[in-house]
A and B are shown apart, each in its own frame.
Chain A
Amino acid sequence: MPKFEPVLLANIGKPDSYTLKVYEAGGGYGALRKVLAEMTPVALIDFIKSSNLRGRGGAGFPTGLKWSFLPKDHPGPIYMCINADESEPGTFNNRLLMEDDPHQVIEGTILSCFATRATTAYIYLRYEYPTSLERLQSAIDECYAAGYLGKNILGSDFSLDIYLHRGAAAYICGEETGLIESLEGKRAWPRIKPPFPAVEGVFRKPTVVNNIETVSCVTQIVNRGVEWFKSIGVPSDPKNPRDPGSYGPKLYCISGHVNTPGCYEAPLGITCRELIEEYGGGVWKGRKGKAAIPGGISMGLLTEAEFDTPLDFAGPGRVGCLGLGTAAVVVMDETTSMIDFLHNSCRFFAHESCGQCTPCREGTAWSLSMMDRIKAGKGRLKDLELLLEIGDSIGIMPGTTICGLADGAAWPIKNAIRKFRGEFEEYIKRTNPTGYQVTDAVSALPILALH
């Protein structure tokens, strides 16, 4: 069994782990007391900067650096938004923290607000997490009663209010500027950056958006120190002075075709294969693995031959994936059809594209129509080229969309077709023996009407 002693998950499994009493009994709010007694906001920013903590929500941006982008000496208010929209298929680590250790999250939020001089924090919580809502709200209520929130926290001159803000089941609200727009009461259409939220965010004020696991890491770094944090994970590449490395523990979710799906804490850099074998209990039913999503569906696919890829911030990118993402691994066994996988992925993104940028709105919808057609036995080899053309042309990277949702839609298309091309071609030829070579424009309407 795994040797790594959990830190972020240390409380999980204790009876009443979500109560203030249990959290305090384990030393909870010690980090807050320490910071209020010993540190200035600037010192805390420098401290977190020196840990090289990178955001756990998906993009992996260095947290201390993000905080330092806030304007100096701003008269305020400065806002903190905690991104609890999760939503990336395969991902549930934030839910676990919020349900079973909400005080670790709240303490990290308070610390992050102290560092950034934010006096109001909004936790943007996805609709699908009613138990998180309940547990976080009761944790917040306990904090007000105990003097950890409100005016003059623990007798200091630092004051903070935290409010929960509930979403309404839209994936795009996890994009930080989509979240901001949604919080303001508008449709969650992401904003063009710059201006970055640190300069002009929610309510047109400087804003930091941090993920639930990220702020939980802040709590632990204050508790245990920078050296502890940097003793775990993968060091910076000495040949690349701009590489912040992949330090610290990480919550990995593993689901799909494994024996023991769950959320497990391991050092950044564990390989996909180690995660499957040591934590996931191996591929189910005695089967072999065929592919795995390395970090939420947006990140694309690893083939079985790529399972030794380390799941740190740089690893998945080296084998053509988009990145580490949310570190949510979804395993597919040897019986899985990649056509079914890609159809599922295209259906998700077509449903969740916010519709603002035409290349994404149309690209995701047409990729689903083509996958519908292929799945229904009416595919043509040319469709694979058309799908790849969509995959290569939608997203921030090719420069056609405002946010990264489209890159996330594109990656599964590109990885699935380029890494499993033979399977796609074989399926199309087998299911459409008389039409697979057709290259004429398809008269879309009659065919689509079949579905």
Chain B
Amino acid sequence: MATAERILTDEMVAAIKAYFPRYPTLQAVTLPALHIVNERLRMVPLQAVVEIAELLNLAPAEVQDTLSFYGFFKQDAPHGEHRAWVCRSVSCALRGGDEVLEHVCHAAGVSPGGTTPDGKLTVEFAECLGACEFAPCILVGKRVVKNVTKESAEALVKELRGSAGSNGHT
């Protein structure tokens, strides 16, 4: 089997190593390392897991075990330039959150978790985003889209598909 090409760039490795002094164990850097890779690649492929494990002096299975616990890090394909989290928990649901998720999915032509073919947008359902005073709401990057309606959901999808995301940090 050919040696897989390295995925972690020098910049990523340096960013991960900058976390080392914060914790008494290297394993504690697992989650920061996964975020660092995910912010740049919009995914954490298995080869990155192997390389993170090497950096942190862990078995790859330990990193993979932690990664797979959180439904957050994609491994097979990157998420879109934008990742929209549509809240479906109780405060939003009482004000139409489930319908908003349907509208967003319909407008984007994907199911929850899916990415538009142009790679611009991934639609996710979220459990409580903690912005219940603005229900129903959507989180995209650092932005909370408040009191979403069918019309504003459709407009949001249009806007996101027409604009470039800065990085995977969404």
Contact = CB atoms under 8 A, between A and B. Distances in A.
Interface in B39-95: 56, 62, 65-66, 69-73, 85, 88-91, 93-95
Contact of A128 (B31, B35, B85): B85
B142 interface: yes
A79 to B, nearest CB: 9
Contact of B25 (A184, A187, A257, A297): A184
Interface string A365-386: 0000000000000000000000
A263 interface: yes
Nearest to B73: A168
Contacts of A87: 127-128, 130
Contacts of B131: 92, 95
Contacts of A170: 69-72
Contacts of A231: none
Given A91-B128, A128-B130, A128-B139, A297 B65 contact: no
B69 A92 contact: no
Given A92-B132, A169-B71, A256-B90, A348 B28 contact: no
Band of interface residues on A = 35 or more
Nearest to A77: B24
Contacts of A89: 89-91, 127-128, 132
Interface in B1-53: 22-25, 27-32, 34-35
Contacts of A228: none
Interface residues of B, number: 42
A90 interface: yes
Chief secondary structure at chain A's binding surface: mixed
B90 A330 contact: yes
A91 B130 contact: yes
B66 A130 contact: no
Contacts, number: 139
Interface stretch (A107-115, A159-167, A217-225, A394-402): A159-167
B31 A203 contact: no
B70 A169 contact: yes
A332 B135 CA distance: 14
A426 B84 CA distance: 38
Contacts of A187: 65-66, 69
A166 B126 contact: no
A336 B139 CA distance: 26
A163 B91 contact: no
Nearest to A203: B24
Nearest to B89: A89
Nearest to A130: B142
B102 to A, nearest CB: 15
B32 A345 contact: no
B90 A163 contact: no
14 contacts: A87-B128, A89-B91, A90-B91, A128-B85, A128-B139, A185-B25, A185-B62, A203-B25, A262-B133, A330-B91, A344-B89, A348-B89, A348-B90, A348-B128
Interface of A: 77, 86-92, 94-95, 126-131, 134, 161, 163, 165-171, 182-188, 203, 253, 255-257, 261-263, 293, 297, 328, 330, 332, 336, 340-341, 344-345, 347-348, 351-352, 354
For the complex of A and B, 10 pairs with smallest distance between CB atoms: A185-B30, A187-B69, A255-B132, A185-B27, A168-B70, A255-B91, A168-B72, A89-B128, A89-B89, A130-B142
Interface of B: 22-25, 27-32, 34-35, 56, 62, 65-66, 69-73, 85, 88-91, 93-95, 126-135, 139, 141-142
